Amino acid sequence: MPACRQPFVFIAALFAAVLLTACGEPPPSFRNTDITGAPYGKSLALTDHNGQPRTLQDFRGKVVTLFFGFTQCPDVCPTSLMTMNEVMRLLGPDAERVQALFVTVDPERDTQALLAEYVPAFDPRFLGLYGTLAQTAEVAKEFRIYYRKSGDTSGMNYTIDHSAGTYIFDPQGRVRLYVKHGESAENMAADIRMLLAGK
């Protein structure tokens, strides 16, 4: 090919690529942070408050929300669970296609029995998950969750400092969104509706 034609061919190819991009469907406009394609948050293996082993694959076909906390948390955890309860109310019938998961970062105190009492009190459909100390650390690492005992760490009256956001997975089991603590139930419900619609 003559050298003088190469720039023309390149420009034509670039123009065609721009046209194809413009004709494609624009990416969804979520209200929360879009982390689609994140290299983390791909798996967990814990036990639910009914004593049943659970992985993310168990909830395929549903949107899953995942929050890490502990039952003796005085503010952030109950507030987040109450917000999720309101999200479910706003979703109406679509709430049956959503699974809210609460993972304890305090397996020493948060027994199966305690989680079974605490988590469904916010909504009977919610599930509390727990594991051994090693399993908890592994899942927290996979989801880049920070947690650390503070206060009276010599006994059982400690508190726990921890990350306070919520992850949201689409029905295919892919982590898609990160929700900062304090986000409105309305915005969360709007994003969940988009994921349920296949966005």
Q: Considering the domain boundaries, does residue 94 fall inside one? A: yes
Q: Which helix (H) or strand (E) holds 196?
A: helix 185-196
What would the mean pLDDT of 64-70 be, rounded to a whole number?
A: 97
Residue 5, pLDDT above cutoff 50: no
Q: Considering the domain boundaries, does residue 61 fall inside one? A: yes
Q: Considering the domain boundaries, does residue 17 fall inside one? A: no
Let me know the angle formed at the C-alpha of 34 by 131 and 198, rounded to the nearest 5 degrees: 90
Report the domain count for the chain.
1
d(CA 121, CA 106): 19
Confidence at residue 152, expressed as pLDDT on a 0 to 100 scale: 86
Q: Considering the domain boundaries, does residue 98 fall inside one? A: yes
Per the structure, the complete domain to which residue 65 belongs is given by 29-196
pLDDT digit string (tens) for 128-167?
Answer: 999 999 999 999 999 999 999 998 888 888 999 999 999 9
Residue 123, pLDDT above cutoff 90: yes
**Non-local CB neighbours of 81 within 8 Å, separated by 6+ positions:** 67, 69, 100, 102, 119, 122, 123, 126
Q: Considering the domain boundaries, does residue 142 fall inside one? A: yes
pLDDT digit string (tens) for 188-198?
Answer: 999 999 999 99
Q: Considering the domain boundaries, does residue 15 fall inside one? A: no
d(CA 118, CA 89): 19
Residue 87, pLDDT above cutoff 60: yes
CATH number at residue 40: 3.40.30.10
